[in-house]
Chain A
Amino acid sequence: GENVEQHPSTLSVQEGDSAVIKCTYSDSASNYFPWYKQELGKRPQLIIDIRSNVGEKKDQRIAVTLNKTAKHFSLHITETQPEDSAVYFCAAVRVGTYKYIFGTGTRLKVLA
């Protein structure tokens, strides 16, 4: 069935360092890959997304890369700040469906 694996489950970095979170999806028909940031007790909020016809997308300190052949996509956060601390979820969306398949989440802690 459809599945999205996400690693690592927890990640601690020093302020100013980079953080990388990786996801692997199983459904080769997936064509849309959003990343959400969720602070404790809050709603997931979209931070960046990428479509399958693009290999990389960047928005200031955040970038996402997609390798369709390997069915991998990754979130890169540079120059991390304490306010980046949150749980990050990746998701994959299959063409022709309405449901997002979420990864298991990564708890990112940025240490000041």
Chain B
Amino acid sequence: EPEVTQTPSHQVTQMGQEVILRCVPISNHLYFYWYRQILGQKVEFLVSFYNNEISEKSEIFDDQFSVERPDGSNFTLKIRSTKLEDSAMYFCASNRLSSYSGNTIYFGEGSWLTVV
């Protein structure tokens, strides 16, 4: 069964450094998402992406964050200048139809980011 894959699985970075988290969505999917989960807390929406542009973003997704689909397979999340509070598990997700129509999204295994 195809899966969403993410790299790295774990990254430790110094505060103020830039981080890029990478995702390969399921190949025939068209809608892509980033969510984050601070340790012990709920999963929170960051951003959705379709047709090479952001569809929707949350208040968490400020100017420090950006997303990109640099080629036909990768979907990246960049954090420009990391803060301690950015430490979290970041999940990429994708689906073929939009969640607008109520179809489920499929999560990757996550990238655990630790900012020190």
Contacts and interface: CB of A to CB of B under 8 A. Distances in A.
B45 interface: yes
Contacts of B110: 42-43
Interface string B49-79: 0100001101000000000000000000000
Interface residues of A, number: 25
Interface in B32-53: 33, 35, 41-45, 48, 50
Interface stretch (A56-64, A77-85, A88-96): A88-96
Interface of A, secondary structure class, is strand
Contacts of A46: 104, 106
Nearest to A4: B42
Interface residues of B, number: 25
A51 to B, nearest CB: 6
B25 interface: no
A98 B41 contact: no
**Which of B44, B56, B100, B108 has the most A CB atoms < 10 Å from its CB?**
B100
Contact of B99 (A51, A98, A105): A98
B109 A98 contact: no
B42 A104 contact: yes
A45 B107 contact: yes
B66 to A, nearest CB: 17
B15 to A, nearest CB: 24
B98 interface: yes
B104 A34 contact: yes
Given A44-B43, A45-B107, A89-B43, A98 B102 contact: no
Given A43-B108, A43-B109, A43-B110, A95 B100 contact: yes
